[in-house]
Structure 1
Amino acid sequence: MIQVDISASKRDSFGKCAMRRLRVSGNTPAVLYGNGKDVMALQLETTPFLKSLFQISRKNAIVNLSISGDDTPRHVMMKEIQTDPVDDSLIHADFFEINLQQPKAFTVPIEFVGTAKGTDLGGDLVIHNASIQIEGLPLDVPDTVSVDITDLAIGDSITYSAIGLSDNLKMVSDATALCVEVVVTVATAAAE
């Protein structure tokens, strides 16, 4: 799983006017909660925070959040990012603290590798599920799961049960559900 370092400082100002001043000064308000601890109000420098967001956009990622005044970084995940609907600027961020030693379920994208031989013979590749639910320790969960589709002929399919996972991971998705298949196209069926 991707890991990113982000720095923050504690925030003691609240309310609309204070948040507006904070944003104008180049900072983004945020909150940290979870793991049985009290909610903590934070602020982050917007420019470095945006760069970090581009690295982890739409991915499972562990954020090592260094808070000024704390000795050890907190391991968190992005829970929500609020943006302005007009100019797409950052309004607020929510971080959720997690325990790296406790298993958790994650949705992991499936990467389909190769070209199915059935598509070369006139079939259509139909992707039913492009992600899989996996449970495991956060640092053991992969960024993507690769599935080789090169041997798929017309009429062949791959279910979740065919996806190989390491022993320290558990599949949460229904093992009988279809991931991908090659079907006969209407044009190919009409030609026969």
Structure 2
Amino acid sequence: MSEVKISAEPRTEFGKGGARRTRRAGKVPAVLYGHGEKPKHIALPAREFAAAIRKGGANQLFAIDVSDGTQALALPKAIQRDPIRDTFEHVDLLLVRRGEQVTVDVPIHLTGEAARNTLIVHDHDTLSVTADATRVPDHLEASIEGVQPGAHVTAGDVELPSGVELAVDPELTVATITAAPTAEQLEATLPEVEEATEEAEAEVGEVTEVTEVTEAPAEGEAGTEGRAEA
């Protein structure tokens, strides 16, 4: 994976208030750490960072140029997102060196088509591997072409690029192929589904009597209506 050059500014405001002001300024609060160095708080341009992550994934390598003269090579270690706004709240960046081996979790893509009338159960969406910090793949692939029900795709079945090694047991199950339920099996479960639906509707339909309690105004205070009439 090629590195992305990105500029950054030192960050002097900390805490929730400082982070909010950083985000309002169109930047992402981040911290650089690793190799025994003192953590460095920085702010990254939000649009550039988001574009890089969308293109390269969560393991995108960044060449960071801080305005105070600091230059660093780093990989995202932890990314906090706002699920509603789909924005980045904070990023932990791990300092790396060229040629250094790192262990990261890489997404797995299943390729091909399994046998007809099957379902694919994803046991793991990522796989832990060890690779050169500058050559971390953005994803890994495993073929399910023609796989029959009852089969398993394991970590050992995943195709690894040159220089990338598994950091987990090769027998770890990545995906399970199961037979899709037949029409008869689905029909047999209908009574249970209908019963559960009826019970849920009955619970929603229950009416609980609520008694409204109105507190008297404190001494020396008029009620709402009294103030309106005054």
Corresponding residue of 1:158: 153
Verify: 1:148 aligned to 2:143, yes or no.
Answer: yes
TM-score where L is the length of structure 2: 0.64
Structure 1 pair 188–103 and aligned structure 2 pair: CA distance change class (3 A)? farther
1:152 and 1:86 map into 2 onto residues whose CA distance is 38
Higher relative CO (Cα under 8 Å, sequence separation at least 6) belongs to 1
Corresponding residue of 1:3: 3
1:5 and 1:79 map into 2 onto residues whose CA distance is 17
Aligned pair count? 184
Q: Is the 8 A contact 2:52 2:60 kept in 1?
A: no
TM-score where L is the length of structure 1: 0.74
* Deviation (angstroms), 1:189: 9.2
For each residue in 1:101-144, what CA deviation from the matched residue of structure 2 results, as whole angstroms up to 9, or x when unmatched? 2211111111111111x2x1x33333322221111212233111
* Deviation (angstroms), 1:157: 2.6
Q: Is the 8 A contact 1:107 1:131 kept in 2?
A: yes
Structure 1 pair 132–56 and aligned structure 2 pair: CA distance change class (3 A)? same
Corresponding residue of 1:61: 60
Corresponding residue of 2:13: 14
1:19 and 1:126 map into 2 onto residues whose CA distance is 39
Gaps of 5+ in 2: 186-230
Q: In percent, how many aligned pairs have the same letter?
A: 23
* Deviation (angstroms), 1:161: 1.8
Verify: 1:40 aligned to 2:40, yes or no.
Answer: yes
Structure 1 pair 178–89 and aligned structure 2 pair: CA distance change class (3 A)? closer
For each residue in 1:140-186, what CA deviation from the matched residue of structure 2 results, as whole angstroms up to 9, or x when unmatched? 33111111111212333322222232452221121112222322344
Q: Quick check: which one's helix share is greater?
A: 2
1:161 aligned counterpart, secondary structure: helix
1:189 and 1:83 map into 2 onto residues whose CA distance is 43
1:170 and 1:161 map into 2 onto residues whose CA distance is 10
Corresponding residue of 1:176: 171
2:4 and 2:130 map into 1 onto residues whose CA distance is 21
Corresponding residue of 1:79: 77
Superposed CA RMSD = 3.3
* Deviation (angstroms), 1:44: 3.5
2:156 aligned counterpart, secondary structure: helix
Corresponding residue of 2:208: none
Corresponding residue of 2:122: 127
